[in-house]
Structure 1
Amino acid sequence: MQGQLVAGRYRLADSIGSGGMGRVWRAHDEVLHRSVAIKELTAALYVSESEQAILLARTRAEARAAARINHSAVVTVHDVLEHDGRPWIVMELVEGRSLADAVKEEGRVEPREAARVGLWVLRALRAAHTAGVLHRDVKPGNVLLGRDGRVLLTDFGIAQIEGDTTITRTGEVVGSVDYLAPERVRGHDPGPSSDLWALAATLYTAVEGRSPFRRTTPLTTMQAVVEEEAAQLQHAGPLAPVINALLRKDPATRPDASEAEQMLAEAAEGRRPSGAQAYVPTQYGGTPYRDVHNGMGTAGTGMGTTGPGRG
C-alpha cells in the first residue's frame, strides 16, 4: 500500500506502527503539504457490512469527542474519512517512539523520567475528563515520546469502544486487558478513576520493565487484575507510592487527578510525594489496621486507610 493515495489527498509513505485495531502510516498531505499520521482501521476488514457501518459511525463520533480536547499532550485528530469501505483517522504526526518501544529497547525507564511522562499523561487525561471524554485504553503503546521531549497521549476513545462486540472479536480488549482497571474487568462502567488506574499500571511497566498483572492467558490476567496485588516495586524510587495508591482495587479509595498530579510532580523532582502517606496501609504494633467500613485487614491489600475526607 506504500505510495497509495487515500481519499485523493493523503499519500502513504511507510508503516510506523500496528496493533489489534489497525495500522498507523506516515503520510503526506498533498493539499496542505505537511506530514501526518494516518490510522487504518483494519478491524473493519473482519466484520460484516452492517458492523462496518457501525464502526465507521462510532469512529466518527469518538473522533469528534477527541477533537474537543485542547491540550498540548493530546495527539490532535485532523480528520476521519472512509476509504476502501473502512474508516481512516488522520492525526498529528509525532516523531519519536512509544513508551512501549522505550521499555522494550532499554529495559526500564528511570523513575524521575517515568514520573515526568506520567505527569504529562495525567494532564492530558484531566483535560479529556473535563471535556467529558474517557480514554479507556491507556497503556504504554498509546503514550508517545517525541524526539523534542514532548509526551503525548493518543487513541482517545478510538482504539476501544465500550460495548462494541466487534472490538472484542478483533482482539483489542484481550491485547490490553492487563491495563484495564478491576472495575472494568468486573463489567462496571468506567470513570475517570479507571483511566488513572491504567496510568499507574503503565508507569509500573515503565519502571519495572514488565506489566504488573500480565499472566499466561487473558483469563488469568483478568483474575490477577481483580484479585491479586502487583509485585512490590523494585526500581520505582519516589514514584512507588504514587503507583501503589493509584493501583488500589476500589476506585473510591484512589487519589483523584488533582492529588495524583501533585504527587507525580514531586516524584519528577526526585522527592517522595508528601501526600503519599495517606494511602499507605497503617499497622499498629504489628497488627494490620482494620477498615472501619468493611473490617478488612489491609496488610498486603493496599486498600485499608484512606486519604482525608475519603472515609
Structure 2
Amino acid sequence: MRAEPGQVVAGRYRVTDRPEDGTGVLAVDVHGGARVRLFGLELPELLVPGHPVGAPAPSYGPRVTARVAQVAAAAGRHPRLLRGLAAGPEDEVLWIAEEAVAGVPLERLAGNGPVSPYRVAEIGADLAGALRSLHEAGLTHGNLTLRTVLVCEDGAAMLGGLLLGAAEEELCAALGGEVPRRVYETRALMLGALAERWAIDPGAPADTWALGVLLYRLLTGHGPYPEDDLPTLLAAVRDGRHRPADGCGPLRPLVERLLRPDAAVRPDAAAVQRELRELLVFAPEPGLDGPPDPLLPVPRPVAGPLVPRQRGRRPARAARRETDRQLPVRPPRVPPRLLGPLVLGGVLLLLVAALAGIVAVAG
C-alpha cells in the first residue's frame, strides 16, 4: 500500500503528506477542499483459507464498502468522536477517510511511561463519552487502542478509527466465511496480539472492557495481559487473569471492574464517564501533584462545544478571572494631581463659613 504526495486515491482524495506509521496519511478532498486523514486497508485475496489454487479470487471490496457506509450513516455527532466520512476501493486497497484534526496519537505521547491518574481520568472520561454516543446509536466501536486516540490542543482526547475497525471486522468475516476457525485465523493475522481488540464478549461491553485495558496501559506503562502470542493472551482474557492493578492508584477499583470477564457486572460507558467525572472534582491543580504532564497539547481547530471539565475549585477561580477580564476599567473622576488642592480648598471654605457664622451671631 503506497500513497505519495500529489497522488489522488479513490478518485477523490489528493495526498498531501507522506504516510505515518499506523496513523494514516493526510489528504485533501478534491471535491470540497476538506482535509481528511486516509487509512488504507488492503483486500488480501490470498488470505482466504482453503481457496482453490487458480480459481478466480472473490472480491470483497463492495461488501466491506457497504458495511463502512452503514456505520458512517448510523454514527451520530459527538465532540469527542472523530467523524468517519467515506470509503472507496481502488485496485486491492480500500481507502477510508476520517475527519482530520491537529492532534498527536496517544500512542506516541504515552511512550514515556506511566501517566498521572487524574490525567488518565480526563482522557478516560472523554473516551467514555464518545463510546456512550456510539452505544446509544446501536453501534460498537471495536477499535479502541492507543493508536486510534488523538490528544488535541486543550488536552481533549478524540476517538477515531470507527470506520477502519468496522472495515477490518467485516473483511475478517468475509474472508473467514461461515467457519469460526477461519474467522479467528484471519483476525489473528490481521490484528495480532493486541489485547484491546480481543474482548471475549461482543457489543458495547467489549468497548468498555477495551477501555479498561487502555486505562491500565496508560496508568502502568504496560498492558494487563501477556501479549507475546495470541493463544496465551486469549487464555488469560478468558480466565480473567490480568496483572495486578497496584499501579492504577485511585482508578484501581474502576479498572478492575472494567476488566472483569463477566460482561453483566461490568459498568457501561455512561457509568464510567460519571465515575471519572466525580473523581476529577477532587483532582489537584496541574503541576502540584507530580512532574509536568507528558501528554503535551497540540493545536487543533475547535468545532462545537467541548465537554466541560470539573477540576476541583479551579473552575470557580477561572470564572472569577474571566469576570475580571470582562469588567471595564473606569478612569478616576478626579485626576490625582488635583486631589490635594481640592482638599485644601474645601478646608478653607469650611473655615470661611464658620467665621461668617460667628460674625452673624455676634453682630
Alignment TM class, shorter chain as reference: 0.7 to 0.9
Letter of the aligned partner of 2:123 in structure 1?
A: V
Partner of 2:118: 112
Higher relative contact order (CA 8 A, sep 6+): 2
* RMSD (Å) for aligned C-alpha atoms: 2.5
Pick the structure with more helix per residue: 2
How far 1:229 sits from its partner (Å)? 2.9
Query: Does residue 174 of the first structure (1) align with residue 195 of the second (2)?
Result: no
List per-residue Cα deviations over 1:37-71 (Å, max 9, x = no partner): 111112447557754x3244223323431332221
Percent identical among aligned pairs is: 28
- Residue number among 83, 100, 111 corresponding to 2:90 in the alignment: 83
Change (3 A) 1:179 1:61: closer
How far 1:83 sits from its partner (Å)? 1.8
> Which blocks of at least 5 consecutive residues in structure 1 are unaligned?
185-189, 272-311
- Residue number among 169, 183, 207 corresponding to 1:160 in the alignment: 169
Q: Is the 8 A contact 1:178 1:221 kept in 2?
A: no
Q: Is the 8 A contact 1:63 1:158 kept in 2?
A: no
Change (3 A) 1:40 1:250: same
| Alignment partners' CA distance in 2, 1:261 and 1:158 | 27
| Alignment partners' CA distance in 2, 1:209 and 1:155 | 22
| Alignment partners' CA distance in 2, 1:158 and 1:198 | 18
How far 1:85 sits from its partner (Å)? 4.0
Q: Is the 8 A contact 2:14 2:30 kept in 1?
A: yes
Q: Is the 8 A contact 1:26 1:38 kept in 2?
A: yes
Change (3 A) 1:163 1:85: closer
| TM-score, scaled relative to structure 2 | 0.64
Partner of 1:27: 27
> SS of 1:163's equivalent?
helix
> SS of 2:192's equivalent?
helix
Pick the structure with more strand per residue: 1
How far 1:195 sits from its partner (Å)? 0.9
> Which blocks of at least 5 consecutive residues in structure 2 are unaligned?
49-55, 177-182, 284-363
Partner of 1:220: 232
- Residue number among 3, 10, 14 corresponding to 1:11 in the alignment: 14
Partner of 2:206: 194
Larger radius of gyration: 2
Q: Is the 8 A contact 2:68 2:86 kept in 1?
A: no
Change (3 A) 1:63 1:144: farther
Q: Is the 8 A contact 1:96 1:144 kept in 2?
A: yes
| Alignment partners' CA distance in 2, 1:46 and 1:268 | 50
- Residue number among 47, 68, 81 corresponding to 1:74 in the alignment: 81
